[in-house]
Amino acid sequence: MLTYNKISLGILRFELNLGELFETDRERENFASKWPLFRASDQANAEIFELKRDKLSYKSEEIIPDKKGKRPPLLLLLGNPASHSIKSEMFFSYEANGREHRFWQTILKNSGVLEMEIDPNGSVDENNRERKDKLFNLSYKSPFRIGLAVFLSLPSAASGKWSGVAGVKKLFGGQAFARILAEERKRIIETSRKFLGSNGAVMVFQKDAWESLRPENGPDYSPEKASACELQSVLPENPQIKIFCVPPTRLAGNACRALKKYCSLLS
């Protein structure tokens, strides 16, 4: 149903088979009626998506360095990519008016998880390329070897009716969305197996990702539990891998505090 391959550094090409995804004509018709609105919700979507009959193909992102080093691996698992970041070919490429995204400074740097020197006079594009290069080459200050991935590969607008994971769920409908999450879970388990081995951890930033990964007896998600650092468990397929859930990136201060606390347990 969902296949993918690497097409450039940090960029993947996915193909979703809609014929296998939708189980009823009504599901497919609902998608068809919403698709033009979703596609038009961000200008970048015209360059990201291609729909031909039953095949929806699109670009997504992942930064999993091949270099090893001595630092323990930490996989930062986000919800889904913003369309403009996919066009820029870098996670959290910028915020409104071209400002640096809060993810890099307010969340990662202030929590002590990741700090890197970026040219303050560089353009947005130059800074994105520099940051990506440093992540792949482990050229940063951190207690960990950092990987970045998204649980839901399909991009969406950063704001508005069709934004975020909720926008993707609205596009496909609840039942089809659940099938997509099941496919995405397989991919993330495989990614974690390759990147983390038996001594790493996953830091989850999104509700559906947490609910999909946690074991059956793991704590269920709530914003209050995320902020209070009460969402901790292990991957069912590999109990040596710890998983933690922090508040979403839009709650930067809360995410930073939770990330700092969890990572102190790993040091």
Q: DSSP per residue over 65-124, as a string? A: -S---SSPEEEEEES--BHHHHHHTSTT---GGGPPPHIIIIIIIHHTS-B----TTS-H
Residue 190, helix vs strand vs coil: helix
Q: Is this structure's pTM higher than 0.75?
A: yes
Matching residue, tokens 């391959």: 5
Per-residue pLDDT tens for 13-62?
A: 999 999 999 999 999 999 999 999 999 999 999 999 999 999 999 999 99
Dist CA 92 CA 80 (whole Å): 11
Per-residue pLDDT tens for 196-252?
A: 988 899 999 999 999 999 999 999 999 999 999 999 999 999 999 999 999 999 999
Estimate to the nearest angstrom the gap between the alpha carbon of 198 and the chain centroid.
Answer: 22
Tell whether the model's pLDDT for residue 179 goes beyond 80.
Answer: yes
Residues making up the chain, counted from first to last: 267
As given in the structure block, the two tokens for residue 28 are 């497919």
Helix H or strand E encompassing 166: helix 164-172
pLDDT computed for residue 267 by the predictor? 75
Assign domain 61-266 to its CATH architecture: 3-Layer(aba) Sandwich (3.40)
Dist CA 83 CA 93 (whole Å): 10
Per-residue pLDDT tens for 143-170?
A: 999 999 999 999 999 999 999 999 999 9
As given in the structure block, the two tokens for residue 19 are 């014929």
pLDDT computed for residue 52 by the predictor? 97
Tell whether the model's pLDDT for residue 121 goes beyond 90.
Answer: no
- Provide the residue ranges of all domains of the chain, joining segments of one domain with +: 61-266
Compute φ and ψ for 143, nearest 5 degrees.
-75, -10
Burial class of residue 39 (count of CB atoms within 10 Å of its CB; 0-12, 13-18, 19+): middle
Matching residue, tokens 């388990």: 189
Burial class of residue 5 (count of CB atoms within 10 Å of its CB; 0-12, 13-18, 19+): exposed
Euclidean distance between the first and the last CA atom of the chain, given in angstroms as a whole number: 39
Q: Which residues pair with 51 in a beta bridge?
A: 56
Q: Which residues pair with 112 in a beta bridge?
A: none
Per-residue pLDDT tens for 78-99?
A: 999 999 999 999 999 998 777 8
Per-residue pLDDT tens for 254-265?
A: 999 999 999 999
* DSSP symbol at 199: S
Residue 28, helix vs strand vs coil: helix
As given in the structure block, the two tokens for residue 187 are 């991919």
pLDDT computed for residue 198 by the predictor? 84
